[in-house]
Structures are given as structure tokens and as C-alpha cells.
Homo-oligomer: A and B are copies of this chain.
Amino acid sequence: MEYVDAFTNTMLEIAEQILKAARAIDKKEVLKMLEILLEAKRKGKKIMVVGVGRSGLVGKAFAMRLMHLGFNVYVMGETITPAVKKEDVVIAISGSGATQVVVSVAEAARKMGALVISVTSFPDSSLAKQSHHVVRIPGRTKISLEKDYFARQILGIYEPLAPLGTLFEDTALVFFDSVIVALMKALELDEAELMERHANIEVP
């Protein structure tokens, strides 16, 4: 049964970290992100989400819900994703803020006049520097803890609990789902209205 104890302890600890993150995330950073998203919706601008690996999967989960809310949203790299245009919003997700291709996309999008929001643990990262707005999400990431000030100082994480970027990715999923609830409130949408747009033919 000892492996199962590792299972339970990890699940409890990840949940505890998400609780701490919920309290640590700067509300002003979230508010500004909400305002940018709502403004883009009013103006009919596109939201484009980009991330690599598991951060990319978290981005897709967010994009799917934004679609349910009626946003004009795309995932970078999917088949029918169009050109980024002026005033579109690019949401770039990277725990380390150092994922090269995400930094490049942010840089290119910025040159095209898009507004870049990055979601990262590192406010001093290359990605953050390419962004108009940064939302800091705690979470030990793949890069050395020495550099992860936010995680170390605010959360007191010193030991690897979950491997690689796990804590960032799990926290980011719950973060984005909470952003969705805030947007539902702002747009006065209920669950039935989301269900209306939800894919009605299920394809993996």
C-alpha cells in the first residue's frame, strides 16, 4: 500500500498548493486580464492561446471554455487558426517563461499589434518581457528552484513534490477555470447558455 500513500499525499499536497496559490495570486493582475478579455469580446477581436506540452493542453482547456462563453478564440497551431491581427489578444502560457517557441510567438504577435498576456511563474522571464500584461501563477517549474523566487518566497516550496512543471500546470488549469467563472458572472451567462455552444457531437 505504500505507493498508494504517495498517491494520496501528493494529491493532498497539490490541492494545498492550489489553495495557497488562490490566496497568493494578485487580484489586480487577474482583474486586468478579465478587462482585456472582455474588451476584446466587445470589439469582436480574436483571442489566440499558445503553450507547449502540458501548458499547451491547459491552454486548450481554457480555449474550449472561452468558446462556450461565445469568445472568438483560437489555439495557435490548430488547423483553422487564422492570422493574428492588430488588437487581437494572445495568451501565452509557460511556467518558466523561457519556452523558446512561446517567447517567439509572443514577440511576433507583439510586432503585429496584438496584445500579449503571459501566464507564468517568472515575472522577469523573456516571455514576461515580451508581454503587455503578466499574471503570475506560483508553481515550481522545470527550471531550477533557485530561480523560482515567487514559488520559494510566497509558497515555501523547497522540495520537489510533483515532477517537472506539474504544480504550475495543475494550478494553471484551476486558475483558468476560475477566470471562466468570473467571465460568466461579468457576461451574465449561465450553464445552459454554455451547453448551447458545447460540441454536441463528441469526437476525441
A residues near B, CB below 8 A?
Answer: 1-4, 6-8, 10-12, 14-16, 18-19, 21-23, 25, 27, 30-31, 34, 50-54, 56-58, 60-61, 63-68, 73-84, 99-102, 104-105, 108-109, 112, 142, 160-164, 166, 169-170, 173-175, 177-186, 191, 194-204
Instruction: Tell which of B19, B27, B75 touches A4, judged by Cβ atoms closer than 8 Å.
Output: B27
Interface centre among A34, A61, A191 (most CB of B within 10 A): A61
User: How many chain copies does the complex carry?
Assistant: 4
3 shortest interchain CB distances as A-B pairs: A11-B22, A77-B203, A15-B18
Closest partner residue, chain B, to A38 (CB atom): B3
| Cβ–Cβ contact A82 & B6, under 8 A | no
* Contact (Cβ within 8 A) B77 A78: no
Residues of B within 8 A of A196 (CB): 83
A98 to chain B, nearest CB (A): 10
Mind listing 16 A-B residue pairs with CB under 8 Å?
Answer: A4-B34, A4-B182, A6-B181, A7-B178, A10-B178, A14-B177, A57-B58, A58-B61, A65-B163, A65-B166, A75-B80, A99-B202, A100-B104, A108-B200, A162-B181, A170-B174
Collect the chain B residues with CB atoms within 8 Å of residue A15's CB: 15-16, 18-19, 22, 174
The reply to whether B80 and A11 form a contact with Cβ atoms under 8 Å apart is no
Cβ distance A39 to chain B, nearest Cβ, rounded Å:
13
Chain B residues with CB under 8 Å of A169's CB are 61, 173
New A-B contacts (17) at CB < 8 Å, excluding given A65-B163, A84-B200, A142-B195: A1-B31, A4-B34, A6-B185, A7-B27, A11-B178, A53-B202, A57-B58, A64-B79, A78-B79, A84-B201, A101-B204, A102-B202, A105-B203, A112-B201, A163-B184, A164-B195, A170-B173
Whole-angstrom CA separation of A65 from B183 in the bound complex: 31
